[in-house]
A and B are shown apart, each in its own frame.
Chain A
Amino acid sequence: MSSELNADLAFPERQRVLDFSLQNPRAMRVYKAFTLIAFVAAWQAIDLINSVLHFYNPLLIPSPLDIVRKAMALWSTGALQKHIVASMMRVFLGVAIAFVPAIVLGVGIARSRIVEVVFEPLIELIRPIPPLAVLPMFILWFGIGELSKLIFIAFAAFYVIMTTVALSAANIDVVLIRAARTLGIKGWRFYREIVFPAISPDLFVGVRLGLSAGFVVIVASEFIAADVGLGYMINYARAYFRVSDMFVGALTIGVIGYAVNLVLLIVERRLFSWRVNDER
């Protein structure tokens, strides 16, 4: 047992290079990439076979190559970038609007009984309502312009961020709170110097989830009364039966969501290296 362990420690490099097993995270990454490539290749192959046998209408399901060609065409005219920027701006601004209220109410509900009594019943009542259900109301109240879309995204992101923050603020280590109190840290200083740093890693996760929620709902709000944005692009393409455009729109949202999440994960690891269990 112990000699086995020593061997691992003595030749770590050698072990990593030769390990093709599913235990090796590097090997796993390669396998996963291969799965994706295999899927796209199979799709392309089926399209090729279909062009001879015609067992489905190729207009409904374009091939990967068609989609890439379409994406490149849309990119070269600048249309795709315009839609990406519009949608991303809406998501980021919407989440930014939700940010401060979500922190204040999340921390408030977790740490103040008065805030809990006043706000929690209302928040819990509204929580189960899917954001899409209130979109028509928001359009009546805030018009068909940017404002209703921003508030709609803020609404969707608010709940995610607030819930994460409230849970985090309620679970701050009691010993740390006691230490702060015996050091004479109270009032605004307590929130700024103890509560905020203590919840900041979870707050970051909340923002990440809030952005995801934003990307989920943005499309729906752009279906209704928009003249730019990826949701508009998809809906417009539907009207003209351009299925490739619809695929490009949907995949673009997927890629943006993935990329934003990835960047934030890297930032998160850098920013909160003080966390004890950071060996992931």
Chain B
Amino acid sequence: MEQTPKLRFDKVDMVFFRPNQPPVQVLKSISFDVGAGEFVCLLGPSGCGKSTILNIAAGLIRPSAGTVTAGSRLVTGPGWDRGVVFQEYALFPWLTVRENVVLGAKSGAGKVDHVRFDHFLGVTTGMYAHKDKLPKELSGGMKQRAAIARTLANDPEIILMDEPFGALDPYTREALQDQLVEIWSASRKTIMFVTHSVEEAAYLAGVVILLKAHPGELKAVIRNETRWPRERASEELIGIERAIRRVERT
């Protein structure tokens, strides 16, 4: 049963050098594995380097030391096999929702399959009715739905999400969390999700990777075996939250 992990961090260090200032160690010897189909949450206070970890996994920045492997390949740069959903949505403002989605897919699977895109927009993210709108005409929640559709259309192996619902109001956030879970359970994609919300991590994750700050270090890995469908504020999830908070305090 023990397969090669979808994503492996092996003793990753990250040190930022700034002129006329002492270097800052952002990450210190980070090692963890993300298995195929897992939903992993990176949880920690600001300054713990969780977004840095995500950016390293995406290949957007290079670690100072250590190696990152995605599947069987060493990560040396960005690639369509690791799709990223940003907190700032990052939709191209000059393209409609649909064109944004198509743009991503052109680099991934090779050919543009319009039936599949409409499927993504319609079934997966509920954006079909808004497919010809420009990003500026959309609400925050709709923008993030479009961005998720764009990432999915590229058919990545791993979806990296950097506090994707951080800028949304609580109602929209919960709706998108549920939608994400649906997508995840239907597609069995591997997801690494950065958040600083204990509730969000407890609700979404199968594995919570807890980090501490200054320097960013792995503190604990907490498994969340709660079965789906999960219920918010259920005894089980509150128990998980309590366990996370207990470790955080130590």
Contact = CB atoms under 8 A, between A and B. Distances in A.
Contacts, number: 72
Interface residues of B, number: 29
A115 B75 CA distance: 28
Contact of B93 (A184, A193, A276): A276
Interface string A141-175: 00000000000000000000000000000000101
Given A176-B90, A197-B92, A274-B134, A182 B103 contact: no
Interface string B94-127: 1100000001101110000000000000000000
Given A182-B78, A183-B154, A185-B107, A274 B84 contact: no
Contact of A197 (B83, B90, B94): B94
B60 interface: yes
Interface string B65-95: 0000000000001111011101010111111
A173 B91 CA distance: 11
B223 interface: no
- Chain B contact surface mostly: loop
A280 interface: no
Given A175-B88, A176-B92, A276-B93, A182 B82 contact: yes
Given A175-B88, A197-B92, A274-B94, A183 B58 contact: no
A141 to B, nearest CB: 41
A276 B154 CA distance: 26
Given A179-B86, A276-B136, 11 more contacts: A175-B90, A176-B90, A179-B84, A181-B77, A183-B103, A183-B107, A183-B154, A184-B79, A189-B107, A194-B92, A273-B134
Interface of A: 173, 175-176, 178-185, 189, 193-194, 197-198, 200, 272-276, 278
